A and B are shown apart, each in its own frame.
Chain A
Amino acid sequence: MGQTIPVTVLTGFLGSGKTTLLNRILTENHGQRIAVIENEFGEIGVDQDLVINADEEIFEMNNGCICCTVRGDLIRILGNLAKRRDKFDRILVETTGLADPGPVAQTFFVDDDTRDSFDLDGVITMVDAKHAELHLDDSEEAMAQIAFADVLLINKIDLVDGDELNALERRLRAMNAMARIERVRMADAPMEQVLDVGGFDLRRALDIKPGFLEPEYPFEWGGVLHIDGTARFRLHNGPDPAMSAVLEPVDAATPEALTETAERVFTRFSAPDSVLKPGAAIRPGETHWTLGLTGAEHYEYMLEVDRPGLYALFTEHMPEEFDAGFCDAAGATLNVAVEHVFNPEHTHDDTVQSVALELDGEIEEFALSAWLSRLLQTQGPDIFRLKGIVALKGEDRRFVFQGVHMLFDGQPGAPWGDQRRSNRLVFIGRNLDEAALEQGLRDCRVQ
C-alpha cells in the first residue's frame, strides 16, 4: 500500500464563495493534481484535474450508533480513485450548501477502505460575512458547518464594516474554539491556509490551543466626544431603569485610541459605583456611575471635565436604546467623533458552543475510556467534534484522541519529555454542560 491521499472538505452556505475558492485552488500553480468531487455541475477544472459530479448519498450505518451516517457516494468514488495507478495528489470534496459535514467526516472514521487510502485533512467552511448571521439564526446545517470546521474563512469582508465583522468572528469563536479563523475578500485565502491543515491527524496533535475569546466587555458602547467644560447627555426611558457609565480622557479621536481606553476602564465597571440622579454630573475618575433612568419621560446628565479635550464615554447599553443624544452647554448638538460597539452580540444564545477543559495531574486510562464512552453514547448526537490530549498514568507519551459524534479514535502521541504533563480537552457541541464535563474529567484523575 502506498501513501495516503489527503482529502479536503469544503463546506459553506450557497453563495458563500465555495466555488470561487475551489477555482482558486485548481488554477493556482501549486503543481498538484487534484480530483474534485462536487455536487453541482460546475465549469471548472484544468487539464490535469478531474471534476466528478455526484449526488450526496447519505447512508445510515446499522451499527447501533444512532447518529452514524456516512456518504455512500464518497466511499464508492474514493474507492474507485484509489484504483488508479496515476493517483491524484489531493482530493477536494465540495458539499452542497445545506449539507451537514457530519456524514463526510464519519465516512473517514467508519469505512476501512477509505481510511486505508485517504486521510481527511480538514474541513474548510466558507462563511459569508454579510449573510452568515442570518443563516446561523435559522439553520441547523449552518451551525453544523461552523462546528465541524478546522478552518473558518470569513469571506466578502469588504461588504461589511469592522464592527459587524468583529461581532461575527466573536460569535463563530464562541461556537468553535478550535478552528482557525481567517478573513478573506474574494475567497483569496493562501493555499497554505486551506491545504495540509492536519485537522484530523492525531500524529500532528501536539497541543490543543482553543482560541480564547477576547474579554467580554461590561459595556456595550463607547464614543469619543470633544467636551469643552460641560456637555449634556440626554436620555429617554429605555429597557433598563439604570445604566452604568464611565468617562475617561482619550488621546485621539481614533478607533484605536478608543479601544485602548476601553481596556483601561474595563475593571472600573466592577468597582463600587456612585449612583446619580438626573441633573447630576458624570466626571472622569476612578468611579463608575450608575445613572437612574426611571420616574420621568426624559433625563439629562451633565458630562463635566476640568480640562477641555477629548473624552470617551462608555455606557452599559447602546445609547439608541434610550434614544440618547449629546449637546454642549448651550444646547447645540454634539457629535460623537468615533464610536465602537463592544461585544454587541452577547444576546446570541447559540446552542452550539465550545467547552475547553484543562486539568493538571494524571488520568486513569480505564476511567477515561469509561467516561468518554458513556458520554459519546448519551450525548454523541450533540457532540460535533472532540479533541483531547491527556497524560495517562504511567505513560511517557501523550495520549491523543478525537471524536466525531459517537465515533472515537485515539492513539499514543509524542513523548512529554520535560514538558509539564497536563490534560486538555475541547468539545464542540450543542447543549454542553461545562460543569458536568469538567467534573467528568476530574473524576478520571488518579487520586
Chain B
Amino acid sequence: MNGCRLDRWAVDAPLTGICVERGGRYAAFAGGDGCVRVVDLQDRELALSALSLTSGAILALVADSRAPAFICGADNGAVYRVHAVEGSRELARFTRPWPDQLATHPCGLRAVSEGPQVRVLDAGGQTVTELGDHPSTVAGLASDSSGRRLAVSHYNGVSLWTLDGRCGEPHRLYHRGSHLDLSWRSDERFVVTATQEKTIHAWDLVSGQDTSLGPCMSKVKSISWSADGSWLLASGTDTVSCWLFSTGRLPPAAPRMLGRYSEHLVARVSANPRHALIAAGYNDGGLDLVSLAPRPQRRALTSAPGSPIAGLAWSPDGNCLLGGDSDGRVFVCRFETDVLARLA
C-alpha cells in the first residue's frame, strides 16, 4: 500500500501481547519466549530492543498507568513493569496460575488477576485492594474510561466493581456460560464480552437490557469499538462483523460484514482511534485496512500466506499500526498524514 512505511522483524516466538504506552511514543511486543521487545516509534530507523524477563512465556501486556511504561504478566507468576528506557523490574509475584489478565488507567489503576481474585496494585506492586472471589478464574479485565469502575468477566457473567476505596459488593451482570474477553464502550454505556460459546454478549448499563450476538464461526479473539463508538467490531467470522450500536437499542440490527472474504477467518480486529477505519488480521497472516464508510474500501497491507495474526494495536494518534503473528513475525506500519483520512 502506498503512503505507509512497513518495518518487519522475525522474533521467533509467538506474539502474546502488543501495545503502545500512554505517551504514544514507544510500542512493545510480548513474546512466548519471555521477552518484551520495545521500539521507539519516533526513531526514523526503527530498532527493537529486547528485554528477557523469563524463560517461559509472557502471557499479557498492557500500557502501564504511567508513561512511558508497560506492565506484563508471565507464566512464572510474575508481573513486571517494563519502562521503555529504564528497563524492567518485577512488580509482584503470585502463586496461582497465572497473572494473564491486566487492566490499567492513567489515574494510577493497576489491576491484575490471580485465579478468581483481582488485585489492585500500587506503584510499588503492593496489593491495595483485593476484589473477589469471583465465581471462576477471572477471564477478562477492563477499566471504564474514567477509571472509576473495573469490569471483571468470569463464569456466568461480569462483575462491575466501583473503585471508590470502599469494599462494597460488585454490580453483577448475569448471563449463563463462560465469559472471556471484555470491553467497555468509551461512553461507559455498554459492556461486551466474548464467550466460550462463540457469541458476544452485550449489556446496556443504561436500559439494563442485554443481548447475545452471533454465534460466530469461531471463538471471538478480539473485540473493538469504532472511533466514534457507533460500531462494535469482532473477529471470529470470515469477514469482520460490525454491529451498529448507535441506535441505542438492543439487540442491534444484523451486522455488516466487512473485509476480505475467504476460508481463513478474521483472527484480530482493531479500530483506528481517530478515523472510521479498521485493521483486520486473518488466520492466514493476511492484513487489511477497511473503512467503515457507507461504501467501504479495503486495502491489503500484507498478504498471505503466513500464520494467524495474533495481535493488532494502533498508536493513540492513529498514525501507526502494530501487529504480529503466532510465529513471531511482527511489524510496525507508519502512515503518512492524510493517507488514513482519505481512506476512511
Same complex for A and B? Answer: yes
| Chain A residues packing against B (C-beta within 8 Å) | 1, 50, 52-55, 57, 59-63, 70, 72-73, 75-77, 80-86, 111-113
Q: Is the CB of B97 within 8 A of A61?
A: no
> Which A residue sits closest to B100, measured CB to CB?
A80
A70, A81, A84, A111: which has the most chain B beta carbons within 10 Å?
A84
Return chain B residues, CB-CB under 8 Å to A77: 97
A50, A59, A81, A85: which has the most chain B beta carbons within 10 Å?
A85
Return chain B residues, CB-CB under 8 Å to A60: 176-177
Return chain B residues, CB-CB under 8 Å to A86: 32-33, 55-57
Q: Is the CB of A85 within 8 A of B59?
A: no
Return chain A residues, CB-CB under 8 Å to B55: 86
Number of interface residues of B (CB under 8 A): 32
> Which B residue sits closest to A112, measured CB to CB?
B218
Cα A113 to Cα B196 with chains together (Å): 11
> Which A residue sits closest to B58, measured CB to CB?
A83
Return chain A residues, CB-CB under 8 Å to B308: 1
Cα A111 to Cα B219 with chains together (Å): 9
Return chain A residues, CB-CB under 8 Å to B326: 1
Cα A54 to Cα B136 with chains together (Å): 11
Other A-B pairs, 12, CB within 8 Å; known A1-B326, A85-B32: A52-B97, A57-B136, A59-B136, A63-B197, A72-B196, A76-B100, A76-B139, A81-B75, A83-B16, A84-B32, A84-B33, A111-B219
Q: Is the CB of A83 within 8 A of B57?
A: yes
- Nearest Cβ on chain B to A196's Cβ, whole angstroms: 25
Q: Is the CB of B14 within 8 A of A62?
A: no
> Which A residue sits closest to B11, measured CB to CB?
A85
Question: Which A-B residue pairs are the 6 nearest by beta carbons?
Answer: A85-B13, A85-B33, A84-B57, A85-B32, A83-B32, A83-B57
A61, A73, A81: the one contacting B137 at CB < 8 Å is A73
Q: Is the CB of A80 within 8 A of B12?
A: no
B75, B155, B218: the one contacting A59 at CB < 8 Å is B155
Return chain B residues, CB-CB under 8 Å to A72: 136-137, 139, 155, 178, 196
Return chain A residues, CB-CB under 8 Å to B218: 112
Return chain A residues, CB-CB under 8 Å to B219: 111-113
Q: Is the CB of B59 within 8 A of A80?
A: yes
A53, A86, A112, A113: which has the most chain B beta carbons within 10 Å?
A86
With A72-B136, A72-B178, A73-B137 in contact, do A54 and B33 touch (Cβ < 8 Å)?
no
**Please, could you name 28 A-B residue pairs with CB atoms under 8 Å apart, sorted by A?**
A52-B97, A55-B115, A55-B137, A57-B137, A59-B155, A59-B178, A59-B196, A61-B197, A62-B176, A72-B136, A72-B137, A72-B155, A73-B137, A76-B100, A76-B137, A76-B139, A77-B97, A80-B97, A81-B75, A83-B32, A83-B57, A84-B75, A85-B12, A85-B13, A85-B328, A86-B56, A111-B196, A113-B219
Return chain A residues, CB-CB under 8 Å to B328: 85
Return chain A residues, CB-CB under 8 Å to B98: 80
Q: Is B230 an interface residue (CB 8 A)?
A: no
A52, A57, A83: the one contacting B155 at CB < 8 Å is A57
Cα A123 to Cα B136 with chains together (Å): 25
Cα A113 to Cα B236 with chains together (Å): 12
A70, A76, A81: which has the most chain B beta carbons within 10 Å?
A76
- Nearest Cβ on chain A to B176's Cβ, whole angstroms: 6
Interface residues of B in 123-171 (CB under 8 A from A): 136-137, 139, 155
Cα A60 to Cα B195 with chains together (Å): 12
Q: Is B117 an interface residue (CB 8 A)?
A: no
> Which B residue sits closest to A41, measured CB to CB?
B95
Interface residues of B in 55-102 (CB under 8 A from A): 55-57, 59, 75, 96-98, 100
Q: Is B323 an interface residue (CB 8 A)?
A: no
Return chain A residues, CB-CB under 8 Å to B176: 60, 62
Q: Is the CB of A80 within 8 A of B57?
A: yes
Q: Is B31 an interface residue (CB 8 A)?
A: yes
> Which A residue sits closest to B218, measured CB to CB?
A112
- Nearest Cβ on chain B to A206's Cβ, whole angstroms: 31
Return chain B residues, CB-CB under 8 Å to A73: 137
Return chain B residues, CB-CB under 8 Å to A63: 197
> Which A residue sits closest to B308, measured CB to CB?
A1
Return chain B residues, CB-CB under 8 Å to A70: 196
With A1-B307, A59-B155, A80-B75 in contact, do A85 and B31 touch (Cβ < 8 Å)?
yes
Cα A86 to Cα B76 with chains together (Å): 13
Cα A82 to Cα B178 with chains together (Å): 20
Q: Is the CB of B59 within 8 A of A75?
A: no
Return chain A residues, CB-CB under 8 Å to B136: 57, 59, 72
Return chain B residues, CB-CB under 8 Å to A62: 176-177, 197
Return chain A residues, CB-CB under 8 Å to B13: 85
B16, B32, B33: which has the most chain A beta carbons within 10 Å?
B32
- Nearest Cβ on chain B to A11's Cβ, whole angstroms: 21
Cα A59 to Cα B136 with chains together (Å): 9
Cα A80 to Cα B196 with chains together (Å): 16
> Which B residue sits closest to A70, measured CB to CB?
B196
Q: Is the CB of B75 within 8 A of A61?
A: no
> Which A residue sits closest to B178, measured CB to CB?
A59
Interface residues of B in 1-56 (CB under 8 A from A): 12-14, 16, 31-33, 55-56
- Nearest Cβ on chain A to B235's Cβ, whole angstroms: 13
B14, B218, B328: which has the most chain A beta carbons within 10 Å?
B14
A59, A70, A75: which has the most chain B beta carbons within 10 Å?
A59
